[in-house]
Amino acid sequence: MHIESLLVQAGNGKDQVTGAVSFPIYQTATFRHPALGESTGYDYSRSGNPTRQVLEELIANLEGGVRGLAFSSGLAAITNVLSLFRPGDHLILCQDLYGGTYRLLEQVYGPWGLTASYVDTSDLEQVYGAITDQTKAIFIETPTNPTMRITDLSAVSKICREQDLLLIVDNTFMSPYLQQPIALGAHIVVHSGTKYLGGHNDVVAGLVVAATEEIGERLAFHQNASGAVLGPWDAWLLVRGIKTLGLRLDRAQENAAAIARWLETHPAVEGVDFIGLENHPGREVHFRQAKGPGAMISFRVKDPSIIARVLQRIQLISFAESLGGVESLLTFPARQTHGDIPLEIRERCGVTDSLLRLSVGIENVQDLIADLDQALTFK
């Protein structure tokens, strides 16, 4: 089936006892055993829950992997992936990445002996140059958060094959509806399910997909051992949200394209980062590996002193962290999502005090433009 049909049919037909179209929420911590030494296949919900299993099988299917795993947050999912490594191991990451990932590596795993280099992964020479004898993996966001830089996944996958490295891709900005990194050579895909997959700003979740059984088994061991699993109610919400992923992203992308073109003409705006624009430097590579630009826009204002007033004046758009929901959200990355990244690194990556990140929702696009116009235009 095409992905649009797979999305809508999420969970349908899985409950063979009742035939429920919406798979039930198994809100239970434990399961009764038929007899000593016998099991229904479920023992304790940390180790496995039917509702969570439907979600995990669904995300594996959508991403083209063999094993899906659901966690209590996106950072819990990344923590699970980082548990594959040992003290002394070295990772290469894109320099312009989510601040929470940077904080986790530098302040949690760094003291435990895991080291990391942050480079512009769109430049393959920088990727090659960062590889050491201790390097075990390359971790990529494409597009990056928040400046929308693009990495050629097939090219980096080739490097990983040559150097015997794992390729890990955070696919949160695109979702499997727009981009499927495993088909391009990734070994592991991670998502903040809170974002486009959930789609309604009402659930916090993380997902991991493994491309091979061996990696999947290792990740599943860490999931059960650490216990940061997604509860059945949240798993059900995520399955429900995924059903409308295609429709939501189609509308949000359409809105984002119109807003990005409008922002380019606004006198208060100095630059716009949106992959759908013809002048985006990574556009050609992106559309070789993804079928749409997504609905994230970053833009720079000419005068950073207006940032606080803009954030206070928006009315329809919410000044809030996160992204990917039906509601449009405006974020100030330098003070919010990327506040834990040192100033010199932020500025080198373009996460400056003039940058705003807009997650475009599915509202009427003219209403969104009107809200931005009144917020950006001071009389």
Q: Which amino acid is at 50?
A: P
Residue 302 annotated to the active site: no
330 three-state secondary structure: strand
Please report the DSSP string for 119-137 in residue order: E-TTSHHHHHHH--TTEEE
Which of the following is catalytic: 14, 96, 98, 371?
Answer: 98
User: ω before 146 within 30° of 0 (cis)?
Assistant: yes
Residue 170 annotated to the active site: yes
Which of the following is catalytic: 67, 195, 346, 357?
Answer: 195
Residue 46 annotated to the active site: yes
Residue 81 contacts residue 320 (beta carbons within 8 Å): no
Which of the following is catalytic: 67, 96, 109, 170?
Answer: 170
CB-neighbour burial class of residue 198 (10 A; exposed 0-12, middle 13-18, buried 19+): buried
Query: Locate tokens 């990932």: which residue?
Result: 101
Token couple for 74: 């996106």
Residue 150 contacts residue 285 (beta carbons within 8 Å): yes
Angle between helices 245-265 and 365-376 (to 10 degrees): 40
Rg (CA), the chain: 21
* Integer Cα distance of 116 and 82 in angstroms: 12
Which residues have a catalytic role annotated?
46, 98, 170, 195
